């Protein structure tokens, strides 16, 4: 493990004013999104869509520090034969790769899942590094459930342990691990229940990272924000989300971690941006706080594109706008009227 190299890459992933673009949707997931737009989910269409984003030169060079790719994408070439990884690097961004193999039901824990993919991971990481990946991502999924019966200790511990094993394997291959323990915002729980579960999950995760000798200086944390469930009748203000999210993080995340790149977790585009901005307006913070968004960056350009070549320029502008909004939010400089002007 070259900790100096890992730390350098981790710092670059959370560089001021920049964040991570997550285009690591599985083939099944992106196919559903294409189907909704009337776009055939062919390998060429998937490639063309992602190439369009990577060729958004200004957005990529100014606001996107890294790109999380799917196995198919890291192996693909652009229409002109250039590897997509090279397009990302040319734009000044860092290529990364999703390495987990999705979730499976957790035995004896009804309604809960465990993320799989540790078998053979060391060999896959070595291959991905050869293909250009400098960081990786593994997502654990924790469901709060409708009652206080979930999550179970079994689920939290099993997923935290798997995250730590994955992170250790990454660092052994000189790949920066993004550690993503996601407490889902599905359900009717309020923000305080989210705080309670997120605190537990993060404490368990960092304990397992310690036991597995993961160097905190060479990783990036990708957590959920403290938000109420989608079905909760008790909504939370932007300020409350920011304050309670930071309270959890300060209680759980050591200052040795270079940065935190939030997942959007089902929030709307503007909600994810506003919450990130409010968090960064509270300072000083012991780590850099940025974004690692998928749909919150992609929804607008994907809809604008809709598989039509004549829409590429407009879709790139839509992507550039969302990237810029979140870049400003990562500095605590976003303003809601910037969204209104764009809409007008």
At 68 the pLDDT is: 98
pLDDT at 342 over 70: no
Q: Compute the radius of gyration of the chain from its Cα atoms.
A: 19
* Rounded mean pLDDT, 12-21: 98
222 is catalytic: yes
The predicted pLDDT at position 145 comes to: 73
Average confidence (pLDDT) over 162-177: 98
Indicate if 271 belongs to the active site: no
Query: Which residue among 25, 180, 182, 204 is the active-site one?
Result: 180
- Considering the chain, what is the average pLDDT of its residues? 95
**What share of the chain in percent tops pLDDT 70?**
98
240 contacts: CB under 8 Å, gap ≥ 6: 191
- 275 pLDDT band, cuts 50/70/90, is very high
CB contact at 8 A, 88 and 95: yes
Which one-letter DSSP state was computed for residue 223? P
Which residue, chain included where needed, has tokens 């909600």?
Answer: 271
Token output for 145? 């459930």
- Predicted pLDDT of residue 147: 62
Model confidence pTM above 0.85 = yes
pLDDT(265) > 90: no
pLDDT one-digit tens code per residue, 29-70: 999 999 999 999 999 999 999 999 999 889 999 999 999 999
Confidence of residue 25 (pLDDT cuts 50, 70, 90): very high
- Domain ranges (residues) in the chain: 3-343
Rounded to an integer, the average pLDDT of 118-123 is: 98
Residue 47 has φ and ψ, to the nearest 5°, of -65, -45
Averaged over 283-299, what is the pLDDT?
A: 94
Binned at pLDDT 50, 70 and 90, residue 146 comes out as low
Q: How far apart are CA 200 and CA 194, in angstroms?
A: 10
Q: Residue 338 pLDDT > 90, yes or no?
A: no
Integer CA distances (angstroms), 133 to 69, 86, 126, 182, 333, in order: 9, 11, 9, 23, 31
Whole-angstrom Cα distance, residue 144 to residue 50? Answer: 33
pLDDT of 340 over the 90 cut: no
Q: For residue 344, is pLDDT > 60?
A: no
**CA distances, 319 to each of 34, 62, 133 (Å):** 17, 12, 23
Burial (CB < 10 A; 0-12, 13-18, 19+), residue 233, is: exposed
Q: Give the pLDDT confidence score for residue 339 in this predicted structure.
A: 78
Instruction: Summarize the confidence of residues 213-227 as an average pLDDT.
Output: 98
83 has a pLDDT exceeding 90:
yes
| Nearest residue to 184 (alpha-carbon basis) of 156, 204, 162 | 156
CB 209 within 8 A of CB 220: no
Mean pLDDT of all residues in 169-188: 96
Catalytic residue among 98, 137, 222, 244: 222
* CATH of 3-343 given 3.20.20.70, 3.40.50.2300, 3.40.50.1360, 1.10.10.10: 3.20.20.70
In the chain, the DSSP E strands lie at 19-22, 64-69, 94-98, 103-105, 113-115, 135-142, 176-183, 220-221, 259-262, 288-293
Assign 341 a pLDDT band (cuts: 50, 70, 90).
low
| Averaged pLDDT, 70-94 | 96
What is the predicted pLDDT for the residue at 148?
A: 60
């Amino acid at each position: 493990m070259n900790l100096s190299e890992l730390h350098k890459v981790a710092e670059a992933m959370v560089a001021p004013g920049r964040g991570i673009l997550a285009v690591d949707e599985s083939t099944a997931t992106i196919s559903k999104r294409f189907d909704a737009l009337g776009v055939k989910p062919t390998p060429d269409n998937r490639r063309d869509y992602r190439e369009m984003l990577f060729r958004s030169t200004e957005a990529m060079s100014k606001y996107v520090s890294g790109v999380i790719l799917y196995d198919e994408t890291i192996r693909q070439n652009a229409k002109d034969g250039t590897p997509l990884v090279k397009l990302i690097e040319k734009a000044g961004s860092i290529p990364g790769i999703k390495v987990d193999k999705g979730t499976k039901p957790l035995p004896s824990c009804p309604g809960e899942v465990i993320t799989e993919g540790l078998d053979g991971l060391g060999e896959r990481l070595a291959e991905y590094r050869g293909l250009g990946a400098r960081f990786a991502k593994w997502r654990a999924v924790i469901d709060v459930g409708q009652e206080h019966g979930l999550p179970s200790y079994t689920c939290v511990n099993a997923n935290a342990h798997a995250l730590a094993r994955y992170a250790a394997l990454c660092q052994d291959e000189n790949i920066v691990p993004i550690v993503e323990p996601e407490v889902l915002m599905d359900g009717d729980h309020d923000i305080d229940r989210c705080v309670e579960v997120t605190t537990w999950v993060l404490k368990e995760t960092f304990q397992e990272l310690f036991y597995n000798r993961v160097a905190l200086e060479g990783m990036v944390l990708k957590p959920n924000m403290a938000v109420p469930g989608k079905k909760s009748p008790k909504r939370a203000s932007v300020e409350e989300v920011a304050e309670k999210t930071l309270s959890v993080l300060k209680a759980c995340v050591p200052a040795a971690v270079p940065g935190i790149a939030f997942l959007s977790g089902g929030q709307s585009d503007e909600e994810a941006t506003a919450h990130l901005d409010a968090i960064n307006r509270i300072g000083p913070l012991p780590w850099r706080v940025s974004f690692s968004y998928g749909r919150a960056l992609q929804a607008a350009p994907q809809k604008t594109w809709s598989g039509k070549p004549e829409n590429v320029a407009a879709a790139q502008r839509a992507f550039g706008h969302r990237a810029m909004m979140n870049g400003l939010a990562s500095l605590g400089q976003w303003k809601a009227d910037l969204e209104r002007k764009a809409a007008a």
